[in-house]
Amino acid sequence: PGAPVADPETGAAVKAADRKHVFHSWSAQEVIDPLAVAGAEGSYFWDYDGNRYLDFSSQLVNTNIGHQHPKVVEAIQRQAAKLATFAPAFAIDVRSEAARLIAELTPGDLDKIFFTNGGAEAVENAVRMARLHTGRPKVLSAYRSYHGATAAAINLTGDPRRWASDTASAGVVHFWGPYLYRSQFHAADEAEECRRALEHLEQLIAFEGPQSIAAILLETVVGTAGVLVPPDGYLAGVRELCDRYGIVFILDEVMAGFGRTGRWFAADHWDAVPDLLTFAKGVNSGYVPLGGVAISERIAATFATRPYPGGLTYSGHPLACASAVATINAMREERIVENAAFIGETVLGPGLRAIAERHPSVGEVRGMGVFWALDLVKDKITRQPLVPYNAAGADNTPMAEFTAACKRSGLWPFVNMNRTHVVPPCTITEAEAKEGLELLDQALAVADRHTVAAAG
Ligand code: PLP
């Protein structure tokens, strides 16, 4: 990896300029203390003080191909020189090629691609397509989910970030998905959790009225809200409910898609085929903003002669499409999805389970591929979360101390509520993954100090 060069003066200037004019998302402006980043390569990035960090976050779980992949950087440069921008209504070679490649990879007959600039817009448009296709108003989505921060997407989100939304959540009804470790259904095992979650969903459909429900939207593997892997049979069960009641099945693969779980799409693990599939992030590792909706033939046919009322100035932006083509080709040539599966099975899975045994603060390990979470607890028996689940003004000290310990050691973690997610690039090597686990192991000693075991 590239070598960091200490240049604290430039670092201080970059930070001062940021503080003056940049308004940061999801942050109190005077509290946020952003790190000034000087460069990045592969699984690492570095600051201006000579510190290098192993990126166990893939930023916002999107740099699946790692930082500064030369083939993707070069494709963007080449496209910029050839045709930097052009409106969506024209046929452009890289746009058709990106759509063809994505259609080829997505399951079933999801063969038409509507491009957006990111995940939230993909969700907004998928929901609009479902409503227009069915003529029905309501959408069901899960508690413990994240679907984006724009108006409809934030209302569809199931976690407390939705509370900040000032728009009415008209037409959105939330349900409980399966999550055995903190089961809403008091289930004893995965099979019972699955059965009860499907019964709950069918009851909810009955009480809301099947004739009023346009879509069921869910993340194939829940990401930001906890890396929740569905039990076998759950997705097939939801598919069946959708078919029985004429409801559109939308899988949100914005975070889980493009290699994160060790398959191209998380849906592939269970042979699940939705009617609409949303993607973003890993499609081009975020080198240029890009997202989209993969659309089944049946839903595309709704708009064969009737215009689809929706579009964005930058839909299918040539630079974004060129980077997606280069990303997908590089992932194939370098067997990057296979690498994610291999690292998950041989290093991260076994390594994290061993870590859980050693640390009283680790309640549960779950995940697949390069998509894992450690659920940190005060007490392994009661499963009380290490910090209260989003209680306003709650003391976040244990997680803040753990995060600081990771960063001091050169590991950049992804931390949310009482969890740390282990979500490195799909390109991570065995040696890098092992290095990260060692640093994580050491930092968890800080979390252990806040547990009942430490107090007792
Ligand atoms: N859907 C899922 C599953 C996500 O994880 C995210 C972002 O984290 C989004 C949608 C929103 O994507 P974006 O931030 O690109 O709008």
Query: 245 and 159: one domain?
Result: yes
d(CA 171, CA 135) in angstroms, rounded, equals: 13
Strand partners for 61: none
113 plus 16 within the same structural domain? no
Shared-domain flag, residues 115 and 24: no
Residues 198 and 219 in one domain: yes
Ligand 1 atom with the shortest distance to the CA of 118: 15
Q: Final residue of a domain: which of 318, 333, 348?
A: 333
Let me know: does 335 contact 190? Beta carbons within 8 Å: no
What Å distances lie between residue 435 and 125, 336, 342, 407, CA to CA? 41, 19, 16, 14
Query: Residue 165 has what pLDDT?
Result: 67
Element (H, E) at 177: none
| pLDDT of 198 strictly over 80 | yes
Residue 160 has a pLDDT of: 74
Contact in structure between 162 and 147 (CB atoms under 8 Å): no
Query: Could you tell me the distance, in angstroms and rounded to a whole number, from the CA of residue 146 to the centre of ligand 1?
Result: 7
CATH number at residue 199: 3.40.640.10
Q: How many CB atoms lie within 10 A of CB 358?
A: 11
Whether residue 1 is contained in a domain is answered as no
pLDDT score at 119: 98
- ipTM passes above 0.85: yes
Average pLDDT over every residue of 330-348: 98
How many Cβ atoms from other residues are within 10 Å of residue 4's Cβ? 18
Task: Give the atom of ligand 1 at the shortest distance from the alpha carbon of 223.
Answer: 5
Give residue 278 CA to ligand 1 midpoint distance, Å: 9
What mean pLDDT comes out for the span 356-362?
98
Identify the CATH number of the domain in which residue 60 sits: 3.90.1150.10
- % of the chain surpassing 90 pLDDT: 90
Q: Residue 134: inside a domain, yes or no? A: yes
Distance 252 CA to ligand 1 centre (A): 9
Average pLDDT over residues 214-239: 98
Is it the case that residue 449 has pLDDT exceeding 60?
yes
**pLDDT of amino acid 168:** 59
* 235 CA distance to ligand 1 middle (Å): 20
Ligand 1 mutation pick, 281, 371, 414, 416, max ligand atoms within 8 A of CB: 281
Confidence grade of residue 164 (pLDDT, cut at 50, 70, 90):
low
Among the residue ranges 162-166, 184-188, 219-223, 274-278, the one predicted with the least confidence is 162-166
Which is more confidently placed, 424 or 393?
Answer: 424
Same domain, 325 and 388: no
With respect to residue 358, please indicate whether it lies within any of the assigned structural domains: yes
Confidence of residue 166 (pLDDT cuts 50, 70, 90): low
Q: Which domain holds residue 208?
A: 70-333
DSSP symbol at 345: I
% of the chain exceeding 70 in pLDDT: 98
Residue 277 tokens, joined:
């599939």
Question: Could you report the per-residue pLDDT of 52-90, keeping only the tens digit for each?
Answer: 999 999 999 999 999 999 999 999 999 999 999 999 999
The two structure tokens encoding residue 94: 């890289």
Averaged over 383-394, what is the pLDDT?
84
What's the 7 CA to ligand 1 centre distance in angstroms?
34
231 shares its domain with 344: no
- Dihedral sign for Cα atoms in the order 401, 37, 2, 319: positive
Domain boundary among 317, 333, 349: 333
279 lines ligand 1 (CB under 6 A): no
Burial 401-435, CB ≥16 within 10 A → b, else e? ebbebbbeeebbbbbbbbbbbbbbbbbbeeebbeb
| Total number of domains in the chain | 2
Q: Checking DSSP bridges between strand 37-41 and strand 44-47, what pairing results, if any?
A: antiparallel
Question: With 60 as the cut, is the pLDDT of residue 404 above it?
Answer: yes
Average pLDDT over residues 349-372: 98
Task: Supply the mean pLDDT for the chain.
Answer: 95
Give me the torsion for CA of 376, 197, 279, 249, rounded to 10°: -170
Residues 60 and 79 in one domain: no
Domain boundary among 333, 364, 388: 333
What lies within 8 Å, CB to CB, of 378 at 6+ separation is: 361, 384, 385, 386, 450, 451, 452
Q: Is the Cβ atom of 293 under 6 angstroms away from ligand 1?
A: no
Average pLDDT over residues 385-405: 89
> Do 27 and 108 belong together in one domain?
no
Rounded average pLDDT over 302-308: 97
The predicted structure's pLDDT at residue 456: 74
Q: Which pair of structure tokens corresponds to residue 317?
A: 């932006």
Instruction: Check whether residue 110 and residue 75 sit in a common domain.
Output: yes
Do residues 250 and 327 both lie within one domain? yes
